[in-house]
Amino acid sequence: MSRLYACVGKKAKKPYRILAGRISVYTLEELCYCICDMTDLLDDAFPEEGIADFLQSELELPELADKLRQMLDNGCPLHEFCDMILSYADYPDAGIRNQIVAQIRENEVLPVVERLMRQADTYHREKEYYKAQKAYRNLLQLEEVMQDVDLIARIYDKLGCVAAKMFHYETAAYCFEKSCRFAEDEQVRKRYILCKRFTMPRAAYMEWVSGKEDMGHLFVEAEQAFEAAEAQVQQQWDKNPADTTQIKNEFCRMVLE
């Protein structure tokens, strides 16, 4: 049987805005849930005076607010700040809470690039595609990243996958091709070919293929993947012709992942 949690404090009239996820919270429990759900997105900007003010003025929890202000004055690390909030609400269960705090502590000591990559991957995994695009592009502005051609290739590959899932196949093709300029990878090259296949009329595509004999086996594999996905999607369309978004998503999944 699931545990029942007693709510602590009032429900706010004016919510607190968590910038990491652009989420508004009205209760202490919602704040705790967001901490648990966004462990990879939280950074040093999360512990701020605004949270303490919100807890005191809106939720009428002055004791917790004072403790957090003291922690801010002492320059406490992120994981301790989050642990104080979760422990005060006794949410979630102690075992899960310890795991969450340990994950936040682990993220704190990650190198900057790895931490930012993890945040971008989290946006991608959660289907927050615009946020993922922005996060990956921000990584490409870092000097440390620009000195690592393999990392640049990975980021462009991820940007291509995000664009494809948004059905922006021309952008995806550009990103996949750019990835291969930095580090050739057959799987990424096949994604590039498939995106070209999506965006070009059949005759134009075949003419384009004829000028690239060095990639013949990849064209064969890409066409096989395309035809197999097309057949399965047609079956879905016959069953439910109105669900075009789901069919497009399924097509992307089958040929690009």
Please name the residue ranges forming H helices in 109-167.
112-125, 129-139, 143-146, 149-165
CATH of the domain at 236: 1.25.40.10
- Same domain? For 123 and 239 the reply is yes
Q: Classify residue 38: in a domain, yes or no.
A: yes
- Same domain? For 30 and 97 the reply is yes
Q: Classify residue 219: in a domain, yes or no.
A: yes
- Same domain? For 98 and 150 the reply is no
Choose the final residue of a domain: 108, 124, 140: 108
Locus of tokens 């009205």: 26
Q: Classify residue 158: in a domain, yes or no.
A: yes
Beta partners for residue 23, in sequence order: 18
- Same domain? For 119 and 237 the reply is yes
pLDDT tens digit string along 144-162?
A: 999 999 999 999 999 999 9
Q: Classify residue 204: in a domain, yes or no.
A: yes
Phi-psi region of 98 (alpha: psi -120 to 50; beta: other; left: phi over 0): alpha
Question: Quick one: pLDDT at residue 245?
Answer: 67
124 φ/ψ angles, rounded to the nearest 5 degrees: -60, -50
Total tally of structural domains belonging to the chain:
2
Is this prediction's pTM over 0.75?
Answer: yes
- Within the chain, which residues score under 50 in pLDDT? 1, 4
Locus of tokens 């096989």: 224
Choose the final residue of a domain: 74, 108, 142: 108
Percent of the chain with pLDDT over 70: 89
